[in-house]
């Protein structure tokens, strides 16, 4: 008897929450810029004349593109919006160093993730969390003289980023809505594991727990939400 009462109460509560709710669904595209907040490790340069020496590494901004799909729920009676993103996400760490030929080179390590992101919105301001599974990683330089892929993702942490920003409706119609998203994101755990440490073969630099990159990113995204269901 208690089980029946609990089930009825749950269904009633769920129906009350979802009443006057509009569901919409659509693609998202978000170019972004990133900056490593952690200090950069020095680079061990092998010089045939001067011998081995460490050279300073300068951090640089990185540029990426995230894309995926998004489901939005607008709860009319609460004047609140929830949206859930599923994306192919890239996080990068870019830096400049002097290579073995004495020339400045820009290097970028890119890590690719499959992510999900629940978000809460009220009055155009939203907060959320991005959780991701690393699927691949690589490092290249701008001259094309270096390119190396990670053999596996064992040394990469699961992504867990705090998100915050603004969501602005741009165009509305009976079909749906085009939204502009301005999003800031901060990595909570850094990019690499402490054990095992990443192989220098593909990351170039000697990372440890003091230098593992923690990226702050900012993106300007667009999402078109098609109206798919309204619950009265």
DSSP H or E run through 114: strand 104-122
Domain residue extents for the chain: 21-231
Report the alpha-carbon angle 205-209-212, nearest 5: 50
- pLDDT for position 93: 95
Give the pLDDT of residue 99.
65
Q: Which token pair is 91?
A: 């996080």
pLDDT by residue for the chain (232 residues), tens only, comes to 444 333 333 333 444 455 578 899 999 999 999 999 999 888 877 666 666 777 788 899 999 999 999 999 988 877 788 999 999 999 999 999 876 666 788 999 999 999 999 999 988 899 999 999 999 999 999 888 889 999 889 999 999 999 999 999 999 998 999 999 999 999 999 999 988 888 888 888 888 888 999 999 999 999 999 999 888 7
pLDDT for 51 equals 61
Q: In degrees to the nearest 10, what's the CA dihedral of 179, 184, 189, 193?
A: 80
Integer Cα distance of 104 and 107 in angstroms: 10
DSSP assignment of 73-111 = EEEGGGTEEEEEEEEEEEEEEEEEEE-TTS-EEEEEEEE
Q: 220 - beta bridge partners?
A: 182
DSSP 211: T
DSSP H or E stretch at residue 13? helix 2-18
Which pTM value belongs to this model? 0.85
């Amino acid at each position: 008897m208690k089980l029946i009462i609990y089930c009825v109460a749950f269904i009633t509560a769920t129906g009350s929450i979802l009443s006057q709710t509009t569901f919409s669904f659509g693609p998202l595209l978000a170019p972004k810029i990133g900056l490593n907040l952690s200090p950069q490790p020095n680079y061990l340069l092998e010089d045939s004349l001067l011998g081995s020496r460490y050279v300073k590494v300068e951090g640089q901004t990185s540029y990426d593109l995230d894309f995926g799909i998004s489901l939005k729920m607008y709860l009319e009676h609460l004047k609140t919006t929830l949206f859930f993103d599923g994306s192919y996400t890239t996080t990068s760490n870019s830096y400049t160093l002097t290579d073995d030929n004495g020339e400045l080179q820009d290097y970028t390590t890119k890590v690719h993730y499959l992510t999900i992101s629940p978000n809460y919105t009220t009055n155009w301001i939203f907060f959320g969390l991005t959780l991701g599974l690393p699927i691949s990683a690589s490092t290249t330089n701008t001259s094309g003289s270096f390119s190396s892929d990670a053999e596996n993702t064992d040394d990469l942490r699961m992504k867990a980023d705090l998100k915050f920003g603004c969501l602005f409706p741009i165009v509305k119609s009976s079909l749906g809505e085009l939204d502009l998203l301005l999003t800031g994101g901060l990595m909570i755990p850094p990019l690499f594991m402490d054990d095992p440490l990443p192989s220098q073969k593909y990351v170039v630099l000697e990372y440890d727990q003091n230098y593992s990159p923690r990226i702050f990113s900012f993106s300007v995204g667009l999402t078109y939400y098609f109206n798919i269901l309204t619950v009265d």
